[in-house]
């Protein structure tokens, strides 16, 4: 009986020594940290865009003496912007193709889709920069120009960040880093890219169409 007590005590002491360091962190959310971080980042970016849209609608609807384009004979290239919008929306479709492909274990589809997405995004950014060069108005010329460059430039910066992520994903995909079970590195940048595309549709409709 005494031996059993001693043995039990030894076993208990050994069990107590199994765990070292602080206890594991408690997750109150079922959302994965990477996905939650991206969603919170997107929410913060929506607030930034909201501030710019507030200034835009103030110029359009409230401020006296200000009009929207055409201003001083300068008109926004709606047709070119429309074509650019189609390019960016197409990139969202190819991004979805890449995401669906890797979830199904299709690495060839991932590589093709992510490469096309990167090329379409780069084309969009090139056309946007070319529009700035040939627009014939500078950001400091008047309030409408300031708002135009501010909103479209803010979105262009997001496209550049998205392209950086896409290039990284493209390189990794050609190195065979993603599988049907491990593809979070494709899904998270994909969510960001879809956000960039949706935001451009809103910017395009507000700035060029309305």
162-174 pLDDT per residue, tens: 999 999 999 999 9
Per domain, the residue ranges of the chain are: 32-67+78-209
**% of the chain exceeding 70 in pLDDT:** 84
Amino acid 24: pLDDT: 60
Confidence of residue 12 (pLDDT cuts 50, 70, 90): very low
CB 38 within 8 A of CB 192: yes
Is the pLDDT score of 31 beyond 80? no
According to DSSP, residue 207 is labeled I
Amino acid 19: pLDDT: 53
Q: What is the mean pLDDT of the chain?
A: 88
pTM of the model: 0.83
Fold of 32-67+78-209: 1.20.120
CB 133 within 8 A of CB 178: no
Instruction: Look up residue 81 and give its two tokens.
Output: 């912007």
Instruction: Look up residue 127 and give its two tokens.
Output: 């056309």
d(CA 76, CA 52): 18
Amino acid 8: pLDDT: 46
């Amino acid at each position: 009986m005494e031996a059993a007590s001693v043995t039990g005590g030894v076993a208990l002491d050994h069990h107590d020594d199994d765990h070292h360091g602080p206890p594991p962190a408690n997750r109150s959310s079922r959302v994965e940290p990477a996905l939650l971080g991206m969603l919170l980042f997107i929410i913060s970016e929506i607030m930034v865009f909201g501030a710019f849209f507030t200034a835009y609608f103030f110029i359009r609807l409230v401020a006296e003496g200000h009009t929207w384009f055409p201003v001083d004979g300068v008109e926004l290239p709606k047709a070119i912007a429309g074509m650019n919008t189609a390019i960016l929306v197409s990139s969202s479709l190819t991004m979805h193709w890449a995401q669906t492909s890797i979830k199904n274990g299709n690495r060839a589809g991932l590589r093709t889709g992510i490469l096309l997405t990167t090329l379409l995004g780069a084309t969009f950014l090139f056309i946007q920069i070319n529009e700035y060069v040939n627009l014939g108005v500078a950001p400091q010329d008047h309030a409408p120009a300031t708002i135009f460059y501010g909103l479209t430039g803010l979105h262009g910066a997001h496209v550049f960040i998205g392209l950086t992520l896409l290039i990284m994903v493209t390189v990794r995909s050609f190195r065979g880093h993603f599988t049907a079970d491990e593809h979070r590195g494709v899904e998270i940048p994909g969510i960001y890219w879809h956000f960039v595309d949706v935001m451009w549709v809103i910017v395009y409709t507000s700035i060029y169409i309305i």
